[in-house]
Structure 1
Amino acid sequence: MTWTMLDHPAWDTDAGAPARAVRAGSATWVLTTTPAYAATLVDGGGSPPAPDVHDPSRLDHARLPEGLSRALTALGRVQRVRTIDLWEALATAIIRQVIRARQARVMHHAFRQAHGERAGALALMPTPDRVLDLREEEFAALGMAFKRRPLQTAARAYLDHGAEWAELPPDVLVKELQSVPRIGPWTAAAAVADVSGDFSLYPYADLAVRTWAALADPATTWPADEPGFAATWRRLAGPYLSALTVLTLAWGDHHAHADQGSTHH
């Protein structure tokens, strides 16, 4: 079985099954995972988004603690759909700043439903132009008053530099995004990992990775501080830093959804 990661807060439920509306250039697609992954064209044209597949058998398990190796092996093959639209990835990372994942998911959903373009029952991330048009009270009505400035600052920067950013290699883009006020290292790295699929760029010592690693392998004593965990994680991963990070996040995503009684396909 191949599991689909539902970590991105744009995954909603439509007719009782996971679904997500995405932009891919001028096209809009609706992605579903039941009974199998599928992409249905809503508007525009082009090639449908295809998931990246991650297989734990490709890790160097000799480097890993036994418990983590066992947990990731049991997870099996994982597929994750990259966010194709850099603006969506950036806005999502900003919404995720300094709040819990569940709160970010609720806020992300409410923001899209209130101000995003429709794709059937689903909604897309509001465009940069739409975000700039929103009034302070419209953010406040969604409990997002503290997100207004960073989102609008990022929207202006994206309109000015988005075409240039799209041409940059991912590691350079991480640095370039940090020139925008209110976009720090975590936000830039999370956005670029989301859009590039390269999770060696993800802030892999953040709370999410540390939490899931400890839950997947409670027998190992993991460093509690970010620098110590980061050094340990790089050593364990060796040349497979992206794969180890995304598979650990996938384990956590599957664990969280299993606790909520839902399934991935």
Structure 2
Amino acid sequence: MPNLMQEHPGWLPSAAGFTRVMRSGATTWYLAWDTASGALDLSPAAATKPTSPRPVASVVDPNSLPELFGTLGKVLASAGPVMRVRNCDLWDAIGTAINRQVVTVSQARTTHQRFCIAYGEQVLTPAGVMFLFPTAERVTQLSDDDFDGLGMKFKRPILRAAAVAYLENADKWAQLEPGDLVDALRGVYRIGPWTAGAAVADWSNDFALYPYYDMAVRHYARTTAPGHDWPDTDAAFGRLWRDGAGDHLSALTLLTLAQGGARATSEPRPPT
């Protein structure tokens, strides 16, 4: 039975496990994960025929990995396979990655939920009312006070610039290969390599594009395999990780990040 990767702040705890709402084109989907059975239920949030594809859930099996970095591979294998639902909504992925800049995971979750409740679309689900991430159009309409009242003054200009860029380029960006999309996002004001890579990994489920040199991967690698001699710098760790993982870079990065579960509150803050 796989574990659910819950690093996206849209996942919320429920009586049975976790729930989430997600846009896929013109359709909003309700996702419900049952912890006891390991079952993921996906259904349109509104009582209408869905017009957009269902969200895709991929399972990564750590047993397919070769032995890597001493005990790391063995510990990941013992933890079992991990299911991750690809984020169908590119704007949500971009906005979520921006919100994640220079704060801890717990801080980002709190801000994300407050932002969604304040300005996102309400969705009625079997778990009650839930909220989507505010659309790009809505973000361009928000005042300085709207942002500042939620403690988002630092994120205000970045989210505005990204919203304008998304509205201008959404169709073109959706046709790009994931690696090219990372490059395109880096052309947006104050979106650096961390934010661009994290957003595209969320949207594509290709975690070879995630900034695997970052403090999060290093933190969970160290805590999972503390006996290994891990480099201290971004560059040295990144080279070791990339070269050691080889063709398994996406799977290894995803499985290592999944060690944080829904908690991940001790993770250091990422850059932009």
TM over 0.5: yes
Match of 2:185 in 1: 177
Three-state SS of the structure 2 residue aligned to 1:23 is strand
Match of 2:270 in 1: none
**Equivalent of 2:104, from 76, 86, 100?**
100
**Conserved? CA contact 1:82–1:194, under 8 Å:** yes
**Equivalent of 1:40, from 23, 43, 47?**
43
Three-state SS of the structure 2 residue aligned to 1:198 is coil
Alignment of 1:8-19 (within 5 A): 8-15=8-15, 17-19=17-19
Q: Which consecutive unaligned segments of at least 5 residues does structure 2 have?
A: 267-272
Match of 2:130 in 1: 122
Letter in 1 for 2:55: P
Three-state SS of the structure 1 residue aligned to 2:96 is helix
Match of 1:65 in 2: 69
CA distance, structure 2, for counterparts of residue 139 and residue 256 of structure 1: 25
**1:149 aligned to 2:157?**
yes
Match of 1:262 in 2: none
**Conserved? CA contact 1:234–1:241, under 8 Å:** yes
Summarize the Cα distance change of 1:238–1:255 in structure 2 as closer, same or farther, 3 Å threshold: farther
Deviation at 1:65, TM superposition (A): 2.4
Greater percentage in helix? 1
Letter in 2 for 1:104: A
**1:84 aligned to 2:88?**
yes
Q: Alpha-carbon deviations, 1:191-225, whole Å to 9, x = none?
A: 00110111111000101000000000001110010
Alignment of 1:1-265 (within 5 A): 1-15=1-15, 17-34=17-34, 35=37, 36-43=39-46, 45=50, 46-61=52-67, 64-120=68-124, 121-253=129-261, 256=264
Deviation at 1:30, TM superposition (A): 1.0
Q: Alpha-carbon deviations, 1:203-258, whole Å to 9, x = none?
A: 0010100000000000111001000000110122011100100010112226759x
Deviation at 1:70, TM superposition (A): 1.7
* TM-score normalized by the length of structure 2: 0.90
Letter in 2 for 1:47: P
Runs of 4+ in 1 over 4 A off after TM superposition: 254-257
Q: Alpha-carbon deviations, 1:126-180, whole Å to 9, x = none?
A: 0011001111111111111111110011000000011110110000110011111
Q: Which consecutive unaligned segments of at least 5 residues does structure 1 have?
A: 260-265
**Conserved? CA contact 2:16–2:33, under 8 Å:** no
CA distance, structure 1, for counterparts of residue 20 and residue 8 of structure 2: 9
**Conserved? CA contact 2:105–2:264, under 8 Å:** no
How many pairs were matched up? 256
